[in-house]
Amino acid sequence: MKTFHNPLHALHQGREEMFRGRMVPCHEVPARLDYVLAELQRRSQGVLFTPEVDDAALDAAIARVHAERYTRFLAGAWDEWVAMDPANAQRDALPSVWPLPNRHGFRNDVLPANFAARLGLFSFDSGSPLMAGTWAAARMGAACAVAATRSVLAGDRAAFALTRPPGHHAGPDFFGGYCFLNNAAIAAQALRDAGMTRVAVLDVDYHHGNGTQTIFYERADVLTVSIHGDPSTEYPFFLGHADERGDGAGVGFNLNLPLPRGTGFKDWCAALERALDAVEAFDAQALVVPMGLDTFEGDPISGFTLGSGDYDTVGRMLAAAGLPTVFTFEGGYAVAEVGTNAVNLLEGFCRSA
């Protein structure tokens, strides 16, 4: 399988995230991707590419999913942060005030002049630091998602976008959950734009793919399915329940399969069977898999108990769907094991594909 990555991912390197009133070291670190690369090379799994970027084509692919005022904000955010106070150059930008438009009637139609206010307007948590290289890294990640999509459109059975920062929590106009651009949604939309009439997204990250759900919630042409920790107790808390089925034309085209913290492989697998049944019933022409490895038993911030060997089975089950498949790299914070787990899944897929 071809893997698309870009060394510029390392420009995004947060120092600390807010957790329970304290700043704690970031979980989403560049070494995660390095471990995956090292394992791909060690096991000679596939071929590595760094995509050449056509700026206009990339910006167009991103604009199909994200609001213009949001990407304009991201592109200039670091300079504005430093302009607020030159001392900010030594600190990552984190939001600390949010408009909560749905619940309290705060307005989100007036763009605040104050940068800290805009940082809150375009985000939903204070765990996703933004720094000088965030936009470049996120943009190159999106380029990898587009390149993986092109390789599948050109006839490859599957391709892997080894993206950092991850993407599935990012919505049309907000970042959060360590995510800035929704690489999986960009891939799904690019597949649609290339003529695939029905595209399915099957999110296997521990956390609900709230950004992807929101992006496609009112559409019948992209089925979104997510298997994740029950949001009653697990991040991102405010979306991901089983009764969210879609809206308008999209009713019936979103499926959430929340599972309790502590779920092991047997029950997780039963959920994957249900997810794959939904993909089959939808008659998808292509599949996008936001591939989080934070379902692993050793993950420091998650609560399922999949073992390293189980990812081989996951890969084989995904391959059995028989669809052209784009993988994007999402969570997985047991850093030393994330390479083994990712490549187990990809190898399992390739052996069965």
Catalytic residue ranges: 169
Residue 164 in the binding site for Zn ion (CB under 5 A): no
171 forms part of the interface with Zn ion (CB under 5 A): no
Per-position x/- string for 16-45, each x denoting binding to Zn ion as judged by CB under 5 A, each - no binding: ------------------------------
CA angle 27, 30, 31 (to 5 degrees): 85
Nearer to ligand SP5, 151 or 212 (CB): 212
Indicate the DSSP class of residue 93: B
Q: Does 244 bind ligand SP5 (CB under 6 A)?
A: no
14 touches ligand SP5 (CB under 6 A): no
Is there binding between residue 209 and Zn ion (CB under 5 A)? no
User: Distances in Å between the alpha carbon of 214 and those of 66, 232, 289?
Assistant: 11, 18, 16
205 binding ligand SP5? (CB under 6 A): yes
From Zn ion, ligand SP5, none, interface partner of 296 (C-beta below 5 to 8 A by class): none
Tell me if 294 contacts Zn ion by CB under 5 A. Answer: yes
The reply to whether 23 sits near ligand SP5 by the rule CB under 6 A is no
**Number of C-alpha atoms within 13 angstroms, CB side, residue 162?**
32
Distance (Å, rounded) from C-alpha 99 to C-alpha 89? Answer: 26
Select from 231, 223, 178, 189 the least CA-distant residue to 203.
223
9 or 228, CB closer to Zn ion? 228
Looking at residue 11, its amino acid is L
Name the token pair of 47. 């071929």
Distances (CA, A) of 327 to 1, 111, 321, 330: 10, 35, 14, 9
Q: Which residues bind Zn ion (CB under 5 A)?
A: 205-207, 292, 294, 331
Q: Given the rule CB under 6 A, which residues bind ligand SP5?
A: 19, 24, 127, 166, 169, 177-179, 205, 207, 235, 292, 294, 301, 330-331
